[in-house]
Structure 1
């Protein structure tokens, strides 16, 4: 049960309790009321409306039409009370008192401090018009209503923000624990199997040695992934894309990046890094030994661009389309799919004997907000 739900229920209780004010004062001055029949009718109407609007708020939330109707009915109640609760010999009729604050609280809780202050001002104006004009009582009532609406709206906003931060922190904690559990499972199963395949492949030799070499590369990449800061803290604000891409740097891979951090939302940075990793893995798996790879990270105000270029044999014309038709969607899903979901675009330039260049361009969020890998290098 969230803050808003609890607040709506609390306001409903307050409104019913606040009805006791005009009821008590009206009962004490009943013999002196100018219209003794109209007073109970007005009180019953207020009870009925309070019950109806409170039920609606607690069940459906703050609907625009109902919230506006609540203000209109309250303003009409102020006008009606000037006649129904008039007392013989007194210039000022009995006030509805705290009950008037109910609609002000609702407006502040629904739409914030400005709306709460506006609702308080509207009710205050009706009070001055129908209850004797500008006087000490009406001015004090106006000040209390306006300040109540403003304060409640401000506090509700702070409360909702705190609730959202708590929810996100809980999600981060749960996600971190789950990833730590997965990391342990991976370490105890997949990594050990890859290490065994690498060792046995080297012992057997021949084609098995090549399988062992590939298993060793995957083991190294997987260890880097589960030990990286991006994996252990996947939801922490923003990430520096240079750090995620830089883990590929090695003897055969050269990384060039700006001197300043390339910060992106964590989820965006992870997806871009995953697309880059897929492109690098394609080179390692499908190009001859000794193929060099260059990673270039470029950053401007509108977008971040990562280029993955190799000096391999290149991709034959039409091979990417053939791979996609065969259901091999590594490039289409792992690279183009990820970048496309981020609102970006991928450009592939390749040909026999000229290597391959994959350019991934991802727009920066406003809030700062193909084919298979088997086809790569002509395979």
Structure 2
């Protein structure tokens, strides 16, 4: 693996965490509200000490368990059952400690709207089914406490039931979406890793096999048989890299045609750690048929990004050697811009016929798709191929400053 390569980091997400935090705040605020109602109506209760005893138990319960609903791992099923039981006891106890007149007038129960927090905890933890069960028990307790189907009681019961079930259903949908997104991120990471491996295979193994096939055919004899086997393995491996979309083709004519599309292996020099001068990585490409134009000052780029960019330039020059003909010339232009680095590879060959790149990708020839565009995409840059039949081909590679592999 190229030095400095960074793998995509796993992103830990949770759609539930904000809901648990909101529930914690709700429980604390509604306890304060219930205590305020209790103190304002203390002398109106039929049995004030009994009401005070329950409110003391409720306050102590909250002091001991306020942080149990801050995270799903701490909010266990036994805790939720106990929380709901305390709320139900408070609702039913209101019928004993309060006066019949206040109850008939629609006075709030001892836990008041704090009861909703117990039902919401069930909704967030277990979904709409738990919410439906909890809100049904709360509804039954309120009806028993009131002793009649009063309009305001039915209204409050339906409000709690519908809202808790809706929240529970939303939580279930959010969880399913979160799992789907996590799976999609895993697939994306696996796909990017596969493309990286495919680039390495294209730039090394496939080219070596093609060279063996071509040299074996030229030497004849036993070498020809070895070359034929190497050509078959090249096609099989190319099919695997392309995702199995291309069935193996084993005729001698097709193997020869495939081999002509691959140049002998080219290994890009490895850069040192830290920023390096891109000119040093592009200079080895310069030769009799390739000219390099670069700034007179160093063009610094992160080592990993520079290595990938140089490899993409090498892949573009491989395509020139394979398709432009023996007498074709190529020019490399390196531009050092404030926000990005631009490398242009141009040749005077016959150009690329319209639709040929798409056909090559479908056939498993991934040179442009992976070795060039795939590398630039991983760097956060772009690769544009402009070709006019009879007028040559131009490949423009753009890499933003500060980019690195895996960004």
TM-score (norm 1): 0.56
- Structure 1 residues 106 and 133, CA, compared in 2 at 3 Å: closer, same or farther? same
Structure with greater contact order relative to length (CA < 8 Å, sep ≥ 6): 2
- What secondary structure is seen at the aligned counterpart in 2 of 1:94? coil
Distance, in Å, in 2 between the alignment partners of 1:167 and 1:60 is 20
**Deviations 1:106-145 (CA, angstroms, capped at 9, x unpaired):** 2222222233122111111111112343212221121112
Q: Distance in 1 between matches of 2:236 and 2:189?
A: 25
How many pairs does the alignment contain? 236
- Using the alignment, how far apart are the partners of 1:137 and 1:124 within structure 2? 12
Match for residue 115 of structure 2?
A: 100
Contact 1:116–1:148 (CA under 8 A) maintained in structure 2: no
Flag the 1:59–1:106 CA change in 2: closer, same or farther, 3 A: closer
What's the offset of the Cα at 1:224?
1.6
Quickly say closer, same or farther: Cα 1:187–1:22, change in 2 above 3 A: same
CA distance in 2, matches of 1:249, 1:206: 23
1:247 aligns with 2:247: yes
Shifted more, 141-150 versus 4-13: the winner is 4-13
Q: Distance in 2 between matches of 1:129 and 1:41?
A: 21
- 1:150 and 1:45 map into 2 onto residues whose CA distance is 28
- Please say if residues 194 and 215 of structure 1, whose CA atoms lie closer than 8 Å, have aligned partners that are also in contact: yes
Q: How far has the Cα of 1:207 moved from its partner?
A: 2.5
Partner of 1:184: 199
CA distance in 2, matches of 1:144, 1:52: 29
Alignment pair present for 1:17 and 2:29: yes
Paired residue for 2:127? Answer: 112
What is the Cα deviation at residue 83 of structure 1?
3.5
Residue of structure 1 equivalent to 2:85: 72
Q: Measure, in 2, the Cα distance between the counterparts of 1:249 and 1:146.
A: 66
Whole-Å separation in 2 of the counterparts to 1:48 and 1:251: 84
1:169, distance to aligned residue in structure 2 (A): 1.9
Q: Quick one: distance in 1 between partners of 2:168 and 2:155?
A: 20
Corresponding residue of 1:210:
225
* Alpha-carbon distance in 2 for matches of 1:112, 1:30: 37
User: Which residues in structure 2 correspond to 1:332-351 (within 5 Å)?
Assistant: none
Structure 1 CA distance for aligned equivalents of residues 74 and 33 of structure 2:
27
Report the CA distance between 1:248 and its aligned residue: 4.0
Q: 1:48 to 1:207 in 2, by over 3 A?
A: farther
| Distance change (3 Å), C-alpha of 1:193 and 1:48 | farther
Query: RMSD over aligned Cα, in angstroms?
Result: 2.7
Q: Is the 8 A contact 1:118 1:146 kept in 2?
A: no
Distance 1:14 1:103 in 2: 10
Q: Is the 8 A contact 2:20 2:72 kept in 1?
A: no
Counterpart CA distance in 1 for 2:20 and 2:170 is 14
Q: Which runs of 5 or more residues in structure 1 are unaligned?
A: 231-243, 253-379
- Runs of 5+ consecutive residues of structure 2 not aligned to the other structure: 1-12, 253-407
- Cα deviation, 1:294-337, whole Å, max 9, x if unaligned, reads xxxxxxxxxxxxxxxxxxxxxxxxxxxxxxxxxxxxxxxxxxxx
Distance 1:202 1:48, change over 3 A: farther
CA distance in 2, matches of 1:208, 1:215: 10
